[in-house]
Chains A and B, each alone.
Chain A
Amino acid sequence: MRTSTTLGLAAALTLTVSAFAASADTIKIAFIDPLSGPFAGTGVNGLHQYEFAAEELVNKQGGVLDGDMFEIVAFDNKISPKESLIQLQVAIDQGIRYIAQGNSSGVASALTEAIEKHNRRNPDDRVLFLNYSAVDPALTNDKCNFWHFRFDANADIKMDALTDVIAGDDSIQKVYIIGQDYSFGKAVSSAAVRFLGEKRPDIEIVGNELHPIGKVKDFTPYSRKIVAAEADAIITGNWGADMLGLGKSVLENGYEGPIFTYYAAADGITAAFGETGEGSLRLVAEGQINPPANDRAAAYYEAFKAKYPDGNISQARITNVIEMLAKAINEAGTATDVVPVAYALAGMEHENMWGGKVMMREIDHQLIQDVHIHAHTGNDVTFDYDNSGFGIKVEETVTMAAADSATTCEMDRP
């Protein structure tokens, strides 16, 4: 290492570090998600929802404690576990105590482990992990820890709700399960097999397969198999380009039944499906967008659209993250010591802006909430996605889904 470059390094580092001189009366939440690269669309949209929620729900209401304001600090993790850990370190160094992340369960499990280790090794500056989207069940089961809170319904809970609906539909006799070849895809597949076996043993699973994630150029061969198997319904956990590719391909090649999905909305997907998806696409998710649950939700969504006309509220749970965190901080009376905040969060009940109640289950830090089955449609959607005229509308609701489901979580509490 030459001296000249060392000097350059010195200059560059001091520059960045000094650029983040923290101001005293803000409570910072680090938003660590992809802001560049292929998943940046989702990440940026999530960031906007966070910024909007912090502004509307906390700062405009006078903040927390003695008027402390929330501030969302964005970190680009490029959806890489390694980058996430670097950014986590940067965030911790800036004195940030709350880490929000959601895209990719792989990143989430890297983060939750790193945070667990960090909190064990550095008891003076512990942090909390607010997971708003990573749904791998392991995070609140085998991999759970005291510092991790999940605000989305996990893959098992969603599948529980989804199979309730499928079980109630007698016209479905044959189901085809297809997913991406990685932990989440496998989790969806095994949950589907398990729940269908319990609830409707008569349903035949005519296909259960995994395809390489992000590598399939053309889904036609898969569609052929699905059509050939005469499936009445498809269940898939696919997201992003894989969701779009699969969905368009099966519909194009003659499939006419419902496609039950986790992530077939917003971020360009709703627009790209458009008319084709009408009548087929079903989506399992929390958060009722259409019809609006109440005037407050409608006003909130309108205000969001006014600020971000190209944005979507595709992760309604983000309002719960912000509101519940604010409530917990107020209850704990401190924002710097995260242990009482975590205790306040655990077991907290909360009125969901999007309708119904939610409850942070103490045993595994999994939020229990209403889970809806939405339909992709262009008819009577108050708030469309991607400004496409199409959106998702609640068809069926499972109240407080899986509230008493089992968990293998055994967490050490400080």
Chain B
Amino acid sequence: MDLILVNLIDGLVTGLLLFMLSAGLTLIFSMMGVLNFAHASFYMLGAYFAFQISLALGFWMGLLLAPLIVGVLGAGVERYGLRRVHQYGHVPELIFTFGLALLIEELVQFIWGKNQMPYAAPEILQFTAFSIAGNSIPAYKIFMIFISVAIFIGLLWVLTRTRVGMIIQAALTYPKTVEALGHNVPLIFMGVFGVGTALAGVAGVIAGPVLGTFPGMAFVLGSIVFVTIVIGGLGSLWGALVASLMIGWITTFSKAYNLRMEDLLTTLGFTKPEAIADSPWRDLWSITSPQIADILPYILMVLILIFRPYGLFGKRGV
């Protein structure tokens, strides 16, 4: 029972972190129709910038400045790259962000080298917040939850309670009309792209110390972010939240409990072959849930796309 609670907290942290990435991505997608492949790369840039800043000015300045820099960079990418490619259609846009992801990874290696950076949580947060049955919950995790929730509430507030939010929501569905009403849609696009990437930057800043700051960090997270927003339904902020938490908990729980395929198959009435070592099905029998935990989201996504192509909360088809 205690372990369930601990796993719920861990899954929540993973899920919220994923949400910070998927929130920006889903906003960008629903507005511009671009699946930004480089989104996780901005997350990585956030972590690296924050590390570099933290060397000089400390962790908190990193938390403040790095997302800003990432956001400005993101806006620049939209303004000088994506907008240009936009005229060629969606496929080149997607391919552009794909190339950008490659380039950013190479750039990071060029500047910071290939090793993991010693980027650590600030001293003030390096203590155990509380323990549940011998499992300590580090204060930093509580801090991560706090930041993500604050960002979610802030985002929701901006989108539903402010004029800018109204315009953005309108531009999501009727970009032409909004443009006709005299709003500078390209500027809104640039802004949303900047904010979206800045959110990814925040995620990078706070995830860097826990998940490691290394050149492969974007690749590890890259496609799972798409999976999240596809499951949640493209363009839906709530969908992104629900899907992020779902993925967070599914992966956490399937890692935390050793469910074995053997048990499942036996329950279903199959009998384990005698000579299991020579059976072509031996690998099927030996699968355990931690082994496949990280591919469960992909299975989920494919199933959702087959049976409900617009995702859990999506209003229109992808």
Contact = CB atoms under 8 A, between A and B. Distances in A.
A contacts B directly (C-beta below 8 A): yes
Interface of A: 37-41, 44, 181, 209-212, 214-218, 220-222, 224-225, 227-228, 230, 241, 244-245, 248, 252-254, 267-269, 271-272, 274, 386, 388
Nearest to B213: A272
A334 B195 CA distance: 67
B160 interface: no
B216 A227 contact: no
Given A218-B14, A218-B210, A228-B134, A41 B290 contact: no
Interface string B74-112: 000000000000000000000000000000000001000
A212 B3 CA distance: 23
Given A38-B215, A40-B109, A268-B115, 12 more contacts: A37-B114, A39-B114, A210-B288, A211-B291, A212-B294, A217-B14, A217-B211, A221-B10, A225-B255, A245-B212, A254-B134, A254-B136
B113 interface: yes
B137 to A, nearest CB: 8
4 pairs of A and B residues whose beta carbons are closest in the complex:
A268-B115, A221-B255, A254-B136, A41-B114
A220 B252 contact: yes
Contacts of A388: 118
B220 A215 contact: yes
B118 A274 contact: yes
B7 interface: yes
Nearest to B137: A253
Interface of B: 3, 6-7, 10, 13-14, 109, 113-118, 128, 131, 133-136, 138, 210-212, 214-216, 220-221, 224, 251-253, 255-256, 258, 288, 290-295
30 contacts: A39-B114, A41-B113, A41-B114, A41-B115, A209-B258, A209-B290, A210-B291, A211-B255, A212-B292, A214-B220, A217-B14, A217-B220, A217-B221, A217-B294, A220-B10, A220-B14, A220-B252, A221-B7, A221-B251, A221-B290, A224-B6, A224-B135, A241-B212, A244-B212, A253-B135, A254-B128, A254-B136, A267-B115, A272-B212, A274-B118
Contacts of A217: 14, 211, 220-221, 224, 294
A241 B216 contact: yes
Contacts of A253: 135-136, 138
A227 B134 contact: yes
Given A254-B131, A272-B118, A221 B256 contact: yes
A116 B14 CA distance: 47
B138 A224 contact: no
Nearest to B138: A252
Contacts of B224: 217
A209 B256 CA distance: 11
A245 B252 contact: no
A217 B225 CA distance: 12
Contacts of B293: 211-212, 221
Given A38-B216, A217-B211, A217-B221, A254 B116 contact: no
Contacts of B290: 209-211, 221-222
B127 to A, nearest CB: 11
Contacts of B221: 217
